[in-house]
Amino acid sequence: MKDYDIKDPSLAQSGRLRIDWAGKEMPVVKLIKERFGKEKPLAGVRISACLHVTTETANLALALKEGGAEVVLCASNPLSTQDDVAAALVDYDIPVNAIRGEGNETYYRHIITALEHKPQITMDDGADLVSTLHKDYTELAAGVIGGTEETTTGVIRLRNMARAGKLIYPIIAVNDAQTKHFFDNRYGTGQSTIDGITRATNILWAGRKVVVCGYGWCGKGIARRAQGLGAQVIITEVQPIPALEAVMDGYRVMPLIKACQIAEVFITTTGDMNVIDKTHFLQMGDGAIVANSGHFNVEINIPALEGLAKSKKRIRPSVDEYTLGDGRRIYMIGEGRLVNLAAAEGHPASVMDMSFANQALCLEYLTRMQGKLEPAVYPVPEEIDQEVGRLKLAAMDITIDSLTEEQRNYLASWELGT
């Protein structure tokens, strides 16, 4: 019986070429893959991965397979799957259940198929796989060694589960590794969000008035890239410290409702819901562009916009035009789903190299620690984080200084003063 569900197997060749292209930018994952090939640290381990089905994920999946794992893959977002990559992975004997644009029902059916693989390790990007297992398939938990979580929103959900006493196996918060969120969230989301909006609209950024909602790791990256292209950037926040950081980084900071009267492009990246709400749509000018780069499509209140609109039409492949009762038009990119994956190709491979090196090494660690970790959310072990940083620098042919004996002693002492 066919163990995959993809759009079109004949796309495999184009997928292979793009996977190889991304692979060239992923030297750390390549090194890990070569070692895994010799040592087989994941021999026979069943892995169910719920990740964006992209060229970078494909390189990770191939490294895990090389390590001996039996990997199956489903999508972590209905609109992020690259169908040619899915086809190529099936060709590589990695079952994929994911189709770009799949509805909610198919999306969850594909997650259930991944769970039917009876995973010993779960990999998640947003915690949909883990939460489905915890809600409806708890009997599988006894066979699970542990899991990993890729993104901020997933880690927040898992910590909430752990706090409520509901988490039944250990999970490593890959997102929280320094070699993940310092780079992936900031430089990856920064560049690819601008890329997604540009591909969708072809707008000129220079001189454009842009609001970034949320000045966390992703927000910082998006704001800096937009500013670098000449945009006038406004930040909105709900926490005083990131708001202050934004002010001192040189941005205007104000409540969103006020920014709506000034700005032309609005980008959410908060991990929160209804950040752009009905009241905001009522204040935006004609032609406002709204896009989301946070994990779920709840950051922009889409039902509220639908309620205000008298008509909606798709005017470009990733752009919907909503015409409000008074004639103003609002343009939504990528159906409010993460715009860098819905309207572009997601993060560049070079940055995913570090995120996915963390993933691969954490899977090896979980296998080694089988039975020794309590159900809880764990940080990425410090030695893995440091190793990924070291390998990435080496791959970039950059060397750094090292501490002298004298400096090591000084930094470990307290006696010396003025």
Ligand X SMILES: NC(=O)c1ccc[n+]([C@@H]2O[C@H](COP(=O)([O-])OP(=O)(O)OC[C@H]3O[C@@H](n4cnc5c(N)ncnc54)[C@H](O)[C@@H]3O)[C@@H](O)[C@H]2O)c1
Which residues are at the interface with ligand X (CB under 6 A)?
Answer: 151-153, 181, 185, 189, 213-219, 236-239, 242, 269-272, 275, 293-295, 338, 340
Minimum distance between the CB of residue 413 and ligand X, rounded to whole angstroms?
35
In the complex with ligand X, the residue whose CB is nearer, 94 or 341, is 341
Nearest residue to ligand X by CB is 216
Give 90-94 contacts, CB < 8 A, sequence gap 24+.
90/4, 90/6, 90/9, 90/12, 91/9, 91/12, 91/15, 91/16, 92/58, 92/62, 92/65, 93/65, 94/61, 94/62, 94/65
In the complex with ligand X, the residue whose CB is nearer, 113 or 193, is 193
In the complex with ligand X, the residue whose CB is nearer, 121 or 253, is 253
The CA dihedral of 44, 50, 55, 58, to the nearest 10 degrees, is 0
Q: How deeply is 405 buried, as exposed, middle or buried, from its count of CB atoms within 10 A (0-12, 13-18, 19+)?
A: exposed
- Tokens for 219, please give them: 């927000």
- Tokens for 123, please give them: 């990999």
Non-local (6+) Cβ contacts of 157 within 8 A are 126, 127, 131
In the complex with ligand X, the residue whose CB is nearer, 217 or 281, is 217
Non-local (6+) Cβ contacts of 160 within 8 A are none
Residue 381's CB: how many other CB atoms inside 10 A? 16
In the complex with ligand X, the residue whose CB is nearer, 45 or 75, is 75
Minimum distance between the CB of residue 178 and ligand X, rounded to whole angstroms?
13
In the complex with ligand X, the residue whose CB is nearer, 110 or 347, is 347
Minimum distance between the CB of residue 273 and ligand X, rounded to whole angstroms?
8
Minimum distance between the CB of residue 348 and ligand X, rounded to whole angstroms?
11
Minimum distance between the CB of residue 42 and ligand X, rounded to whole angstroms?
25
* H-helix or E-strand spanning residue 29: helix 27-39
Residue 51 dihedral angles phi and psi, to the nearest 5°:
-135, 165
Q: List 147's β-bridge partners, or say none.
A: 122, 171
Minimum distance between the CB of residue 66 and ligand X, rounded to whole angstroms?
26
Report CA-CA distances (Å) from 331 to 38, 270, 321, 322, 369. Answer: 51, 20, 5, 6, 49
In the complex with ligand X, the residue whose CB is nearer, 170 or 271, is 271
Residue 162 dihedral angles phi and psi, to the nearest 5°:
-65, -45
> b/e per residue, 196-224, with b = 16+ CB within 10 A?
bbebbbeeebeebbbbbbbbbbbbbbbbb
Minimum distance between the CB of residue 376 and ligand X, rounded to whole angstroms?
20
Minimum distance between the CB of residue 61 and ligand X, rounded to whole angstroms?
18
In the complex with ligand X, the residue whose CB is nearer, 238 or 304, is 238
In the complex with ligand X, the residue whose CB is nearer, 4 or 217, is 217
Minimum distance between the CB of residue 186 and ligand X, rounded to whole angstroms?
8
